Amino acid sequence: MELIAKRPNGTKDMIPAEAHKWHTVEHIASETAECFGFKEIRFPMFEETGLFKRSVGDTTDVVQKEMYTVTAKGDDSFTLRPEGTAGTVRAVLQNGLLNDALPLKAYYIISCFRHEKAQKGRLREFHQFGIEMFGSKSYLADADVIALAQTVLERLGIKNTELNINSIGCPQCRQKYQDALREYFSAYKDKLCDTCLSRMEKNPMRILDCKSEICSDIAKDAPIILDYLCEECNEHFENLKENLTERGIKFTVNPKIVRGLDYYTKTVFEFVSNSIGAQGTICGGGRYDGLVEQLGGQPTPALGFAMGIERLLLTMEAENCEFFAPKTCDVYIAAMGKAAEKKTVQLVNLLRDEGYHAEYDVMGRGLKAQMKYADKIGSKFTIVLGDNELEKGTAKLKNMAKGEETEITLGDGFIDRFSDMLIGDMFDGSLGDNLF
């Protein structure tokens, strides 16, 4: 029978057999962020469209081509979030969080939406782990954020990456750079794509980020921003490079990095994987010192980064990184007969109340089929209950990994006896990492 509905193009399902991989990334990322003093923030999946136009920039591909925008009743325009920073800043301002102790540090794990050409590593619905820090203008904050990103990658086991950094200056020194870009690109007006021609006056730096092969080739010989930095921006960048070196963090200065969003200032950076092909940027970030003020707050320096979770998973799989072991059933209790079934439900409920993953038959299977099912779901232990076991008040607890059987009393203290056996097997290594 043909399916009447299929998932939209550019989206993916996370099925139960893959959940442990996502949990690995989400747990390690959030735990690492908390080690650096970041706390979780959550905000709506959609915002007023004007928020993204004002923050991301109306000359970016995101705003011009990729946003999912709807008009709700009452003619308000809402957009599914294409990234996490704008929503975080809005939430921080609306909830008065900048009145708390600074720096304010927040992290999030969210889904984002961009209407792009779907391909490996580039989806229309994708997920990000991101962090944002508010209040510090110091290069030390830049270095700490980069160090956090590298620590997450290291703890995930990802090794084959390169850190590229750049400075795109402040609005003052960037104005001189934009004038130089306009002068350079004006000689190629007849070759630039229509989008880049429209960017020439508003934001010529966006031309450096164009995906067109012709525009990219022209941009190779364009002036570089580092030659136009003011004294303050240059000092900030030099101090950052020195501090990264002191921390033992290897990097390459790449003057072509501008990032795809308009709110960036000064430091921008990317971690690029060499293991997954063309879509190799697995982390990108930088400073956005003017964004808080732009969205109605007091002038507040800020910075952050985002990591694409799908790309992290692709990279981990390509590099054979270890994932948390999938959680499996602790004990399966097979019942034979109505009386045994009642006792089984009682024992399973006791085990679940204590936090154990306990299962029993709800399909009306015979004993042989029940044991096959227990094996299929990877149950660590099995118990078979029938009239004999109920009469004696004891049953055989079978360790499925070893094939060994131990008699266990079904009355008072059953949970404690089961716990002792499970913990004992954990310490002798027969259960491995599947316990937790």
pLDDT digits (tens, 9 = 90+) for 162-202: 999 999 999 898 889 889 989 998 888 888 888 888 888 77
Do 307 and 342 reside in the same domain of the chain?
Answer: no
Same domain, 382 and 295: no
Residue 62 near residue 306 (C-beta atoms within 8 A): no
Measured in whole angstroms, how far is the alpha carbon of residue 48 from the centre of its chain? 24
Domain co-membership, 234 together with 377: no
Whether residue 207 is contained in a domain is answered as no
Per-residue confidence at 431, pLDDT binned at 50, 70, 90?
A: very low
Q: How far apart are CA 128 and CA 130, in angstroms?
A: 6
Residue 47 resides in a domain: yes
101 in a structural domain: yes
Of 318, 340, 372, the last residue of a domain is: 318
300 and 421 belong to one structural domain? no
Listed residues 267, 289, 318: the one ending a domain:
318
97 located within any domain = yes
pLDDT at 434: 39
Domain count for the chain: 2
- In this structure, the answer to whether residues 296 and 364 fall within a common structural domain is no
Residues 392 and 255 in one domain: no
268 domain-assigned: yes
Pair 262, 355 in one domain: no
> 197 lies in a domain?
no
- My answer on whether 384 and 283 are in the same domain is no
Answer yes or no: is 30 within a domain.
yes
Residue 206 lies in a domain: no
Which CATH number goes with the domain that contains 356? Answer: 3.40.50.800
Nearest-10 crossing angle of helices 139-156, 19-35: 150
Domain-ending residue, one of 291, 318, 345: 318
Q: How confident is the model at residue 260 (pLDDT cuts 50, 70, 90)?
A: low
Instruction: Based on the fold, state whether residues 260 and 348 are members of the same structural domain.
Output: no
Please give the residue range of the domain that contains residue 274.
Answer: 16-170+230-318
Does one domain contain both 382 and 421?
yes
CATH code of the domain containing 142: 3.30.930.10
Backbone angles phi, psi at 202, to 5 degrees: -75, -50
Lowest mean pLDDT of 27-31, 176-180, 201-205, 387-391, name the range.
201-205
Q: 303-351: per-residue pLDDT in tens?
A: 999 999 999 999 999 999 999 999 999 999 999 999 999 999 999 999 9
- In this prediction, residue 59 has a pLDDT band, given cuts at 50, 70 and 90, of low
pTM for the model:
0.89
Which pLDDT score is estimated for 424?
Answer: 64
- H helix runs in 108-223, sequence order: 139-156, 171-185, 194-202, 213-219
Q: Are residues 336 and 267 in the same domain?
A: no
298-332 as b/e: b if 16+ CB within 10 A:
eebbbbbbbbbbbbbbbbbeebebebbeeeebbbb
Judge if 309 and 339 occupy the same domain: no
pLDDT at 63: 81
Residue range 350-357: mean pLDDT, rounded: 95
